[in-house]
Amino acid sequence: MSQHLTVVSHPLIQHKLTLMREKTTSTAVFRQLLREISQLLAYEITRELDMTTKMIETPIQEMQAPVLAGKKLALISILRAGNGLLDGVHDLIPSARVGFVGLYRDEETLQPVQYYFKVPTELDERLVIAVDPMLATGNSSVAAIDLLKEAGATNIRFLCLLAAPEGVARMKEAHPDVPIVTAALDERLNELGYIVPGLGDAGDRMFGTK
Ligand code: URA
């Protein structure tokens, strides 16, 4: 992807995102909408995947048919909210390998703390798509990408639902080689590090915690 930030303005994504933002939307509906939007975002983030052809036989004749080239993709969920995006992307790319990076945000310093790291082998040969619904301060996203690069990844994309300008700037500074795809670029962060207008705490809203 050539652009650092892509905002996917598809009407279905924007409509579903508005439903997700509404505070009265239930946990079950929130999760379902996130799954649907992530499928649409996955379509966009995989638009320029390398292709090759293979010989197949249709009921009519043989043909050279297009297929994805190279090793299977790696989808990396940044826990825990990443799992909500992961499911929809995985629906669309079921053969992808899946990894998890466990980071939680220290509510005082807003800095990420690692508690889990398990990723597919041969990351250096795969397109790696890291998923986290909220790109807020960018601290945990930058830390997760640091870890993925340490594990060998060289071709990484970052998929989120909402981004704050502060997080986009932080990612661009730390990882200018990692394109970001999002459904919306919101106004700013508030003093607690939440995206404004945002949708609140994505993990709480998808899992019904507080
Ligand atoms: N994480 C969230 O879940 N929501 C925000 O607004 C910011 C970070």
Could you tell me the CATH number of the domain that includes residue 13? 3.40.50.2020
- 109 annotated active-site: yes
pLDDT at 1: 73
Q: Specify whether 146 is catalytic.
A: no
Q: How many residues does the chain have?
A: 210
- 33-57 per-position pLDDT tens digit: 999 999 999 999 999 899 999 999 9
Q: How many CB atoms lie within 10 A of CB 104?
A: 14
| Candidate list 52, 109, 154, 182, residue with the active-site label | 109
Q: Rounded CA gap, 9 and 184, in Å? A: 8
Residue 109 has pLDDT above 90, yes or no: no
Enclosing domain of residue 149:
5-207
118-148 exposure pattern, b = at least 16 Cβ within 10 A, e = fewer = ebbeebeebbbbbbbbbbbbbbbbbbbbebb
For ligand 1, is residue 189 a contact (CB within 6 Å)?
no
Q: Which atom of ligand 1 is nearest to the CA of 205?
A: 3
Please give the average per-residue pLDDT across 116-138, as a whole number: 96
Measured by CA distance, the residue closest to atom 3 of ligand 1 is 201
Confidence of residue 205 (pLDDT cuts 50, 70, 90): very high
DSSP label of 20: H
- Which atom belonging to ligand 1 lies closest to the Cα atom of 195? 6
Residue 111 has pLDDT above 80, yes or no: no
Indicate which atom in ligand 1 lies nearest the CA of residue 201. Answer: 3
CB 120 within 8 A of CB 97: yes
| Residue 58 neighbours by CB under 8 Å, 6+ apart | none
Phi first, then psi, for residue 33 (nearest 5°) are -65, -40
**CB of 78 shorter than 6 A to ligand 1:** no
Res 107 pLDDT > 80:
no
pLDDT digits (tens, 9 = 90+) for 74-101: 999 999 899 999 999 999 999 999 999 9
- Please say if the pLDDT value at position 190 is more than 80: yes
Q: How confident is the model at residue 186 (pLDDT cuts 50, 70, 90)?
A: very high
Which residue from 27, 111, 160, 195 has its CB within 8 A of the most atoms of ligand 1, so it is best to mutate?
A: 195
CA–CA gap between residue 67 and residue 75 (Å, rounded):
19
pLDDT of residue 151: 97
Does ligand 1 come within 6 angstroms of the Cβ of 195? yes
Q: Among 99-108, 168-177, 196-205, which stretch is predicted with the lowest mean pLDDT?
A: 99-108
**What domain count does the chain have?**
1
